[in-house]
């Protein structure tokens, strides 16, 4: 998946800071180690879905694709609108947030988004000095936007930047059955909360494409109606709390039937 992320960034034909950041983030041994342990805690200790390297890379790819669709539609990011940076800077912040947003799962589920924020700080500072050498102002700006994306990805805190809103929705879009496969396989029997796993296990595909009325169309393909729980209780809530909501069309299709439109 690393190659897909790098290619998606390069396809946007930017000055190169986001591509450089993506390369550093994906190759970083400390990030990989924390992501893997976060997944161990999530699946083996807590019985949750995947919150490790595959999930965070999937969120990053979703976010890059969403950012590309917004740019294609002429939508300015918050950094662009505020004249604090360009699209490349915004995408760099989104990549940091997407690839680091669940590091706090290595500590535990409760407040993991806040744990992720402080766990990410030294990593971001180390890599940002390489992406923006001798530009402290830009390091601070990109780090701040990335931290908002990390702290706000659950949809239970008010966020204000489009960049953070994209990360929030990109996280919610990682709901396919592969994400629940391991936790279902090691489950010792029915438990409260299993509806999240069974619901995710019915999601076959999530497609991101240009919408007919809005820049982004999210289409959820599922094998059974239990997947609607995942759409309505997880993704829809994150979209509703996101600054990106006004740019999104959301559809769900069960067994190839007629699409149900939510947004």
State the pLDDT at residue 196.
61
- Pairing mode, strands 248-254 and 260-261: antiparallel
Is residue 259 within 8 A of residue 219, CB to CB? The reply is: yes
Mean pLDDT throughout 155-161? 94
> Could you report the per-residue pLDDT of 43-84, keeping only the tens digit for each?
889 887 778 899 999 999 999 999 999 999 999 999 999 999
State the pLDDT at residue 197.
64
Mean pLDDT throughout 34-46? 92
State the pLDDT at residue 35.
96
State the pLDDT at residue 120.
98
> Could you report the per-residue pLDDT of 111-128, keeping only the tens digit for each?
999 999 999 999 999 999
State the pLDDT at residue 189.
54
Distance from chain centroid for Cα 87: 18
> Could you report the per-residue pLDDT of 145-155, keeping only the tens digit for each?
999 999 999 99
Sheet holding 203-209, edge to edge: 203-209, 216-222, 248-254, 260-261
State the pLDDT at residue 186.
47
Residue 216's DSSP bridge partners are 248
State the pLDDT at residue 184.
46
State the pLDDT at residue 178.
54
Is 2-261 a domain of CATH 1.10.3470?
Answer: no
SS percent in the chain: helix, strand, coil, step 5 = 60, 10, 30
Structure tokens at 60: 């990053």
**Average pLDDT across the chain, whole number:** 91
CA distance 190 to 253: 27
> Could you report the per-residue pLDDT of 170-212, keeping only the tens digit for each?
999 998 875 554 444 445 555 555 556 667 788 999 999 999 9
């Amino acid at each position: 998946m690393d190659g897909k992320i790098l290619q998606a960034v390069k396809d946007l034909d930017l000055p190169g800071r986001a591509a450089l950041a993506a390369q550093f983030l994906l190759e970083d041994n400390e990030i990989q180690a924390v992501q893997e342990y976060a997944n161990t805690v999530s699946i083996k200790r807590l019985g949750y879905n995947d919150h490790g390297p595959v999930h965070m890379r999937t969120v990053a790819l979703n976010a890059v694709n969403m950012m590309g669709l917004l740019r294609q539609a002429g939508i300015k990011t918050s950094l662009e609108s505020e004249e604090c940076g360009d699209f490349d800077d915004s995408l760099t912040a989104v990549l940091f947030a997407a690839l680091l947003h669940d590091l706090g799962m290595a500590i535990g589920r409760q407040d993991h988004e806040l744990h992720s924020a402080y766990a990410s700080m030294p990593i971001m500072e180390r890599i940002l000095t390489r992406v923006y050498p001798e530009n402290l102002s830009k390091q601070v700006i990109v780090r701040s936007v990335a931290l908002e994306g990390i702290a706000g990805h659950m949809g239970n805190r008010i966020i204000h930047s489009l960049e953070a809103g994209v990360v929030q929705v990109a996280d919610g879009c990682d709901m396919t059955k592969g994400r629940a496969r391991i936790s279902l396989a090691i489950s010792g029997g029915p438990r409260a909360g299993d509806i999240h796993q069974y619901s995710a296990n019915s999601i076959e595909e999530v497609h991101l494409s240009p919408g007919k009325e809005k820049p982004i169309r999210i289409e959820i393909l599922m094998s059974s109606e239990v997947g609607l729980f995942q759409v309505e209780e997880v993704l829809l809530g994150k979209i509703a709390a996101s600054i990106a909501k006004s740019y999104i069309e959301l559809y769900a299709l069960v067994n190839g039937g007629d699409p149900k439109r939510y947004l």
